[in-house]
Structure 1
Amino acid sequence: MDYPKISMVIGSFNRRKLLELCIEAVRAELNDQSYEIIVVDGGSTDGTVEWLVQQKDIITIIQHNRGEWGGKQIVRKPWAYFMNLAFKAASGQYICMLSDDSLIVPGAINNGVELFDEQLAKGVKLGGVAFYFRDYPVRKKYAIASNLGNLYVNHGLFLKAAMEEVGYCDESYHFYFSDTDLALKIRAAGYEIIPSKLSFVEHYFDATPEIRSSNNDERKLVDRQKLISKWSGIAYPKEKEEYYSRHVGRWLEHPDSPTIPLDTIQKLVAAENPDYFSFPRVSVITVVYEDPKGLARTIDSIKSQTYPFIEYVVIDGGSGEAVQQVLSDNSESIDILVSEKDNGIYDAMNKGISLFTGDFCLFMNAGDTFYEADTLKRLVANLDDVSDVFYGHREYIHGAGHSLAQIQKGQPIEKIVSGMPFCHQSILYKSDALKRNEFNTTYRYAADYNQFVKMYTAGAKFRLIDQVICKFFAGGSSESGIRPYLECLKIQFDYFGDGEHIKESKYMKGFIKNWPDFEKKFS
C-alpha cells in the first residue's frame, strides 16, 4: 500500500466556517502532494459533524467531550488525548498540526516539507519544523515560541517516527502545554526542531471566545506548573523555577519582519464576523514624549478594540527608559515604531502620516483612549465612500485627579468658522485626505485647527457620526496660555477675514476673557 507523505491533523469544535476555510486552504496547498486529512472533532453541534462525514477525503474522528450521556455529565478529556487519536491514526511520514481557527499563508506547508526533506537528506536528525504564526489581532508579528534554545511547534510539522519514539503527547495535561512538552520530549530524544522561515500561519485569536475561555481556567495554571516541574533542571534551570512558572517561553519574531497582505486573516475574520464593512484597515497613530503612564493607558485601549484590522503606529520623541520599557512590553501590538527626537508634536504627527498604510487613520495620542472596546467596530460600520473626514463626540475628563467627566458632542462642521467643532481624537480621516494635508508645523499649538479649516475651505466633506469616540484627558499644551488663542485667531483671520463672525469666535471670547491675566503677566 502506498502511504501518504503528509498527514494533516486538525482539532475542531463548533467552528464549522473556520474549519471549512482551513481545509480548503490545505487542499489547495497540497493539490500536487500525497496527503491525508484527519480531523478530530469534540462533538460539534453547529453542523460540523454533518459536514465532515460528507467529505470523502477526510478521516473524521468524533469524540464527544461536552454535555451529558446516559444521565451523567461527560467527563472532559484533554487536548492531548484528542490529538493522540489522530497522531496515532496518521500514516504519513510527516504530521502537520493545525488548529481549526488557523489558516495557512499559501506555501507554508510545502515550504516546510521541502525544508524537512533537505535536512533529512543531509543526515540531520530532525524531529520538527515550526511555522511562524501570529495570534491576530492580539499579536501582530509572526513569531515562534522558544525558551533557552528550545523551539516549540504550535503550528508546523513533526516527524511521525519521532512522535512514535517519544510516546506522542502526554495526556496528563488538561489543555495547554502538552504541545510544549511534546517538543521537549522530542528534543530530549536527540532530535532537532528548527523554524521554517518561509512558512506562515494566521491564527484568529478572537474566534469563538466562549470556547477559548472554557479552556483557559485555573487548570491552565496547573498545567504550567506541571510542565515546569517535569522539566526543571533540564529545559528550565532549577534556580529560576519560580520565574519560569510565570514565563514558560518567549516569542522569537521572524528575523525579516515580513509584511504579508491581510487577505488570509481577513478570510478568517469574515467567517466569524460577516458584517464588517469591506475590512478597511484603520491606522491609529500615537505620539508620545516622556509619558509612560499615559502611553500604557492608550496602548491598553487600542489592544482592547474588538475591530481586528488596526495598524498601530507609535512616534516617540526620544523618551527615556520608562517609556522605552512600555514600548518594549507592548512590541507585539505595535506595527510601526519611531523613537527619535522631533521638532514638536505636529512634527511627530507628520512622521506618523508619512508612515501609516491604512485605508483610514485616527490619532490617539498618549494618555487618551477609545471610549469603549467596540468603538472602532461601530465607527467603521458607519463609513461611506463620499466623506473625507468622519467625526463624533468625546468624553472630556478633567478636574483634580481627572475625577470629572462629561460628554461633549461634535458640532456641525459649519461651526468651524468660530472654533473647533470636534476633538482631534474623535476624528477618522480617509487616508488620501490626510496624506494630502499634513500639519503646518509653524503652528505650535493650533496646527490641527489650521489643517481642518484648510480642508473645509478647500471643499473636503466632513460627516458627523452620533457616537462617542474617545476619552480625552485634559491637560495638553493647547489648553492654556496666550499663544493658542493667538494662533487660532490668526487662522480665522487668514481664512475667514475680520467680519462679524469674529464676534462669535470662541477664541476671541476666550482671549478677551483672559486678557486681564495676560496683561498682568506680560506688562
Structure 2
Amino acid sequence: MTADSSMTMKQEGGTRLQGVNKKSEPGKPLVTVITVVFNGVATLGNTIRCVTGQTYDNVEYIIIDGASTDGTLDIIKRHEHAIDYWLSEPDCGIYDAFNKAISRACGEYYLVVGCDDELFEDAIKQVVDTRLRQADVDFVVASMWLGDRLRKGMRPSMGWLGAHAMVNGHSVGMLIRTKVHDQLGLYSTRYALCADGLFIKKLFSSGLRGVESDVVMGRFATGGASNSSLARGLCEGFLIQLETEKHKLLQVLIFIVRLIKNFFRL
C-alpha cells in the first residue's frame, strides 16, 4: 500500500471541525460519550439516537470507526450534525480505538456506549445530578440491565473473581474522569477483548475515589466481541487475573472451573 492510498483511508468530521467546541462549566461537567464501531450498520443508528437524545445538555459525542465496509460510515455522516467528532480509519482493535477517542476527548468525564448498547435518555443527567455536581469523584459505577438481569452496586472486594465481579459493566455502566488515564495510562492493547477488565482492576487499586449509583443507565448488549469469542475471552481474563492477583493457584483453579462450566459453548 502506498502512502497516498493509506492517507485516503482516513476520514473525519463532526461539529468540532466546524468550530463548535464544548467545555465543562461550573456545576455542569462536560461528559464525553465514546462509541467505537466496526461494521455496525444494523445497530449504530439507534445508539446514535440514544446518545444525541440525552436530556443532559453538556454532552460531547465521539465515534471511532475502524474503516467499516458495510454502510456504517454512511450512518455516521447522516448524523454528522449531532456528532462532535468522528474518525474512520483502520485500527488495531477495540482498545486502540478507545485510546484514540480518549486522546481526543474534551470532557471531564467519559462514558463508553457500545454500538449495540442502549442508553436511557435521562441517564447522564441523573448521574450528574446525584453524583457529580457536588462531589470530587473519579469514577461512578451505575446500575444497568445486562440482558434480563438488573445489576446494581459496586463490589471492590470481589476482584479475585475478575473485574466483571467488581462492576456492573464497563460499557453503559461507568462514568470515568478522563484525567485518570494520566495516572493509569491508556487501555492496554495486549488484550484484544478484555483490556477494560485490566483497566478496571488498576482503577480500583489506584486509590482514586469511586462511588456507586442506583441510576439505571441503560442496557448492555450481550452479543459483543468478548461474548462471541468466549474461549479467547476466558483465556485473556485468566491472564489478567494472573497479572493482578497474588494467589496464582486460586486463579488457576477458578479458570479450570470456568472452562468446565463453559465446555459445551467453547
With the shorter chain as reference, the TM-score category is 0.7 to 0.9
Structure 1 residues 262, 490: closer, same or farther in 2, change over 3 A? closer
Counterpart among 208, 215, 220 of residue 472 in structure 1: 220
Could you list the runs of 5+ residues in structure 1 that have no partner in the other structure? Answer: 1-139, 143-255, 267-276, 398-404, 519-523
Residue 453 (structure 1) aligns with: 201
1:489 aligns with 2:238: yes
Counterpart among 394, 397, 418 of residue 144 in structure 2: 394
- The Cα shift of 1:491 comes to 1.3
- The Cα shift of 1:346 comes to 0.9
Cα deviation digits, residues 460-479 of structure 1 (max 9, x gap): 33211112122111111112
Larger CA deviation: 435-444 vs 280-289? 435-444
- For the residues of structure 2 that align with 1:321 and 1:500, how far apart are their CA atoms? 45
Counterpart among 152, 160, 177 of residue 430 in structure 1: 177
1:406 aligns with 2:149: yes
Cα deviation digits, residues 245-292 of structure 1 (max 9, x gap): xxxxxxxxxxx72245659xx7xxxxxxxxxx7110000000011011
Say whether the 8 Å CA contact 1:394–1:471 is kept in structure 2. Answer: yes
Residue 171 (structure 1) aligns with: none
Structure 1 residues 516, 307: closer, same or farther in 2, change over 3 A? closer
Say whether the 8 Å CA contact 1:305–1:376 is kept in structure 2. Answer: yes
C-alpha root-mean-square deviation of aligned residues, in Å? 2.5
Say whether the 8 Å CA contact 2:31–2:109 is kept in structure 1. Answer: yes
Secondary structure at the residue paired with 2:28?
coil
Secondary structure at the residue paired with 1:293?
coil
Percent of pairs with identical residues: 27
Instruction: State the TM-score, normalized to the length of structure 2.
Output: 0.83
Cα deviation digits, residues 292-336 of structure 1 (max 9, x gap): 121111101012110010010000000125112211110011111
Residue 191 (structure 2) aligns with: 443
Say whether the 8 Å CA contact 1:388–1:433 is kept in structure 2. Answer: yes
Residue 19 (structure 2) aligns with: 258
| 1:393 partner amino acid | S
- For the residues of structure 2 that align with 1:287 and 1:431, how far apart are their CA atoms? 17
- The Cα shift of 1:407 comes to 1.3
Secondary structure at the residue paired with 1:292?
coil
Cα deviation digits, residues 482-509 of structure 1 (max 9, x gap): 121111111112211225753895x553
- For the residues of structure 2 that align with 1:466 and 1:375, how far apart are their CA atoms? 11
- The Cα shift of 1:458 comes to 2.6
1:296 aligns with 2:45: yes
- For the residues of structure 2 that align with 1:486 and 1:287, how far apart are their CA atoms? 23
| Map 1:36-435 → 2, pairs under 5 A | 141=15, 257-260=18-21, 278-320=27-69, 322-370=71-119, 372-381=120-129, 382-383=131-132, 385-397=135-147, 405-419=148-162, 420=164, 421=166, 422-425=168-171, 426-435=173-182
Q: Report the count of equivalent residues.
A: 245
- For the residues of structure 1 that align with 2:180 and 2:90, how far apart are their CA atoms? 27
- For the residues of structure 2 that align with 1:347 and 1:369, how far apart are their CA atoms? 23
Say whether the 8 Å CA contact 1:392–1:468 is kept in structure 2. Answer: yes
- The Cα shift of 1:457 comes to 2.2
| 1:313 partner amino acid | I
Residue 170 (structure 1) aligns with: none
Structure with max Cα Rg = 1
- The Cα shift of 1:428 comes to 0.3
Q: Which structure 1 residue ranges, 4+ long, deviate > 4 Å from structure 2?
A: 260-263, 515-518
- For the residues of structure 2 that align with 1:261 and 1:412, how far apart are their CA atoms? 34
Say whether the 8 Å CA contact 1:395–1:407 is kept in structure 2. Answer: yes
Say whether the 8 Å CA contact 1:410–1:423 is kept in structure 2. Answer: no
1:512 aligns with 2:260: yes
The higher relative CO (CA closer than 8 Å, separation ≥ 6) is in 2
Instruction: State the TM-score, normalized to the length of structure 1.
Output: 0.44
Secondary structure at the residue paired with 1:440?
coil
Say whether the 8 Å CA contact 2:23–2:30 is kept in structure 1. Answer: no
Structure 1 residues 431, 492: closer, same or farther in 2, change over 3 A? same
